[in-house]
Amino acid sequence: MRIGMVCPYSFDVPGGVQFHVRDLAEVFLAEGHEVSVLAPADEDADLPPYLVSCGRAVPVRYNGSVARLTFGPVTSSRVTRWLETGGFDVVHLHEPVTPSVSLMALWAAEEPVVATFHTSTVRSRAMHAASPLLRPSLEKIRARIAVSEDAASTVHRHLGGDTYVVPNGVHVDRFATAPLRPDWQGSPERPTLAFLGRVDEPRKGLDVLLRALPAVLDARPGTRLLVAGPGDPDPLLRHADPRAAAATEVLGAVSDDDKQSLLRSVDAYVAPHLGGESFGIVLVEAMAAGAPVVASDLAAFARVLDGGRTGVLHAAGHAGSLADALVRVLADDALRMSLRAAGGERARVFDWRPVSRQVMAVYETVLEGVRADLAESPRGLWGRLVRGAPEGGPT
């Protein structure tokens, strides 16, 4: 199958949607399909061979964070050229109402379109604005995928219609077998915690974790916090309790290999996010690596953690609740072992092998529908002339 995928966010900047598109494309390529991905990207960046750049992106504040998007006549011409030369059986758009290249591909596509929605918000301004303005274009989407029940609810609330729920995927074995890093491993006297995410994005909750850390240090004085991700944490650390700042080691942005080793090495992974999460892929990565998970009680996180069976939940935004959860996990060897076992089992649900099969099943369902439409429609010139005429009307 020839598959065209479109990512609205700059492919040379790390992000959950970019990683999802990358991994799904590479899984299908490994299975023998032909895949081309269109996305904004700096053409001087080290890009994979299946990536076609539609131009450099610009930073735009969007959905509670800063996204790198592209729009305009140059992008439009590149989208059209990519579609005309691609010969795709199906075009898979990610975040199709985001004001970037996915939306432009939706406008231009004549191929069968599948769309994946990643965002979960109570009120999406983009979707709310897009619904009346883009209704004819949205009707071109033959199948909608949402990465979670929360994302599906957002789509239904703003756009109506049904969606398939297909979760984000993880290469579980890569995390489960990642090499341990002695400098990141903890000990009973010096346990290690990990935080992964954009450190200067408030909704990721690093500030809450830093406020919880003094109480954790009271109970476990040698605790270290390893912070990995892009952004500048210095403003937060300057305002943090001095003991919390001293116990924090900033790793900066890390490679995929280092992320896998980090999660495999630490005593617990902490996800103190405040909201705006539709899934929680990093929780699955942590479970796959064997890291006990302590996460805020967001609905999306609770679903990933099977209602708290495979991780410990704390009240979102509440430093005291987070501190209590961390102290409990670090003090209880049996609990950590139980969470590792349950988490490893749970992560298998999100392995790319079953997840990619679900996506492929959506493609095949769409193409079967296209074939059925063609078989039922009138043939030839006469058919093209009468197609769309009102029943009983003039032909």
CATH of the domain at 251: 3.40.50.2000
Residue 394 in any domain: the answer is: no
Residue 202 in any domain: the answer is: yes
Residue 236 in any domain: the answer is: yes
Is the distance from CB of 198 to CB of 229 less than 8 angstroms? yes
Residue 392 in any domain: the answer is: no
92 and 139 housed in the same domain: yes
307 secondary structure, DSSP code: G
What pLDDT shows up at residue 386?
45
268 and 375 housed in the same domain: no
Residue 365 in any domain: the answer is: yes
In order along its 395 residues, the chain shows pLDDT tens digits of 999 999 999 888 878 899 999 999 999 999 999 999 999 988 777 889 999 998 887 766 655 566 667 777 888 899 999 999 999 999 999 999 888 899 999 999 999 999 999 987 645 555 555 555 566 778 889 999 999 998 898 888 878 778 999 999 999 999 999 999 999 999 999 999 999 998 988 999 999 999 999 999 999 999 999 999 999 999 999 999 999 999 999 999 999 999 999 999 999 999 999 988 889 999 999 999 999 999 999 999 999 999 999 999 999 999 999 999 999 999 999 999 999 999 999 999 999 999 999 999 999 999 999 988 888 765 544 444 444 444 444 33
271 and 207 housed in the same domain: yes
Tokens standing for residue 177: 């077998």
196 secondary structure, DSSP code: E
The pTM of the full predicted model, rounded to 2 decimals, is: 0.86
219 and 342 housed in the same domain: yes
Cα–Cα dist 244/258, whole Å: 24
106 and 226 housed in the same domain: no
What pLDDT shows up at residue 136?
73
Residue 393 in any domain: the answer is: no
Cα–Cα dist 251/192, whole Å: 13
> Where on the phi/psi map is residue 208: left (φ > 0), alpha (ψ -120 to 50), or beta?
alpha
Instruction: For residue 206, give the nearest of 168, 260, 251, 257 by alpha carbon.
Output: 251
344 and 356 housed in the same domain: no
315-319, long-range: CB < 8 A, 24+ apart: 316/205, 316/272, 316/273, 316/274, 316/275, 317/205, 317/208, 317/274, 318/208, 319/208, 319/209, 319/211, 319/212, 319/215
Q: Which residues contact 226 (CB under 8 A, 6 or more apart)?
A: 184, 192, 193, 194, 195, 249, 251, 262, 266
Q: At residue 358, what are phi and psi to the nearest 5 degrees? A: -65, -40
Question: Domain of 269?
Answer: 172-349
113 and 162 housed in the same domain: yes
Residue 391 in any domain: the answer is: no
Tokens standing for residue 315: 């009240």
Tokens standing for residue 349: 């649900």
Number of domains composing the chain: 2
Q: At residue 33, what are phi and psi to the nearest 5 degrees? A: -80, 160
Residue 162 in any domain: the answer is: yes
Cα–Cα dist 117/148, whole Å: 9
342 and 368 housed in the same domain: no
35 and 55 housed in the same domain: yes
6 and 136 housed in the same domain: yes
232 and 342 housed in the same domain: yes
202 and 135 housed in the same domain: no
Is the distance from CB of 378 to CB of 386 less than 8 angstroms? yes
- Decide: residue 266, CB within 10 A, 0-12 exposed, 13-18 middle, 19+ buried: buried
